[in-house]
Structure 1
């Protein structure tokens, strides 16, 4: 007689592209009882094997893009609550524990981490400037007084799936917030320490990457709430 493995308390989605150097640090900080879903987005440095050896569940997403990796993790998740975190050691996944508690208690539907640099080199200046400008635009679009669109976040899985997120590039985190706001979600934001990442950034590490990310996000902001059937 065989039994099914127990369902995880929380599924933690970790989009991953060549993060072999950061994975041990990140996975060692995943709260006990949570399942780490490392979404390999085409790594060539053995990231998938390292993640598997360290006890993570590996999901393969061949379509390149931050949003593609995040959504693959979301659709692979089975826990009631799903969290997201970058896999580059710039954010500690243990910081998500109180976020989960807030969602479970019904105090918020989506909880976000506002990145606050905790050491020199934590995020390039041009990326931080882009985040500030985007937050201002987001306030005008949704009325939300958010300061950042960081990757550290928690929400209920079924509610996230119901948002019907379509962006598969850098606009995915923003689209999640915009559609959640349009659907009337209660969104909270808390400061979290932001550390220098391990390895090179795949998105905002260069001016060109930041420009591409901003272009993706502006496209999301231009969406009409009725175009995608998202309730207000």
Structure 2
């Protein structure tokens, strides 16, 4: 069975052709349309992806809808904006498939021409530091390209449906004793404008979501 790849999508028509065209043969894309108005869902379907509609807005809502729709043993996640190369998915999924890791993240390494604002990089570094202390995993990035086994991931009971979803995944995995690893992946120039770091409002919303996840996790612990 191919490995399902969850791609949360909100108006990524400009990027989907490149992203889906570079999907490795052993990986199957599940594009979760989160209210696009630019024809993203139609383009994804025409290019052979499974398309899932998630009307509830939120990055975590889209990710979790894709996870629920997946059927493969190992499931990957990645952004649909062309900032990550699907051809590098095997290096992230490989250690999980081999039973060496329970959760793998792709550490973003800035490629020429890519944009990663200083404030976003600093915030990411702070989060990575917190995660190293909380989980013991040698993480340097809250990487959006990641892989884990589907059933154990569902069993973690992730509840955030906004930008805190990726952080909650790592925190809960660490608390459950998962073996968490990281490998380098290229961070490329994205197509279109970022919904998070590309706007002040998006950045503040993401920070607020992650702060709530941190507080909830600290209280539960």
TM-score clears 0.5: yes
* Count of matched residue pairs: 221
- Tell me whether 1:64 sits opposite 2:81 in the alignment: no
Q: Which structure has more helix as a fraction of its residues?
A: 2
Partner deviation per Cα, 1:116-151 (whole Å, 9 max, x = no partner): 111134222221121112212222333333111111
Contact 2:34 2:56 in 1 (8 A): yes
Point out 4+ residue stretches in structure 1 off by more than 4 angstroms. Answer: none
* C-alpha distance in structure 2 between counterparts of 1:123 and 1:203, whole Å: 11
- The offset of 1:225, in angstroms, is 6.6
Q: Contact 1:126 / 1:210 at 8 angstroms: preserved in 2? A: no
State the partner residue of 1:37: 30
* Number of the residue aligned with 1:110: 103
Does the Cα contact within 8 Å between 1:91 and 1:193 map onto a contact in 2?
A: yes
1:95 aligns with 2:88: yes
Name 2:20's counterpart in structure 1: 27
| Partner of residue 3, structure 1 | none
Alpha-carbon distance between aligned partners in 2 of 1:94 and 1:164, rounded to the nearest angstrom = 30
Task: Check whether the contact 1:90–1:122 (CA below 8 A) recurs between aligned residues.
Answer: no
Partner SS, residue 21 of structure 1: helix
8 Å CA contact retained: 1:123, 1:196: no
- 1:223 CA drift (Å): 2.3
Instruction: Give the SS at the match of 2:30.
Output: strand
Contact 1:126 1:207 in 2 (8 A): no
Return the match for 2:186 from 193, 203, 212.
Answer: 193
1:150 to 139, 143, 147: 143
**Structure 1 position 13 matched with structure 2 position 6:** yes
- For 2:137 and 2:85, the matched residues in 1 are separated by 25
Give the conservation status (yes or no) of the 8 Å contact 1:111–1:155.
yes
Consecutive unaligned residues in structure 2, runs of 5 or more: none
Give the greater-gyration-radius structure (CA): 1
Counterpart for residue 123 of structure 1: 116
Structure 1 position 226, deviation (Å): 7.7
Q: What TM-score, normalized by structure 1, do the two folds share?
A: 0.91
Say if 1:117 and 1:194, in contact at 8 Å, map to a contact too. yes
* Deviation (angstroms), 1:184: 0.3
* 1:190/1:37 CA distance change after superposition, 3 Å: same
Aligned-residue offset at 1:219: 1.3
How many Å separate the matches in 2 of 1:107 and 1:161?
A: 20
* Distance (Å, rounded) in 2 between the aligned partners of 1:186 and 1:11: 21
Unpaired stretches in structure 1, ≥5 consecutive residues:
1-7
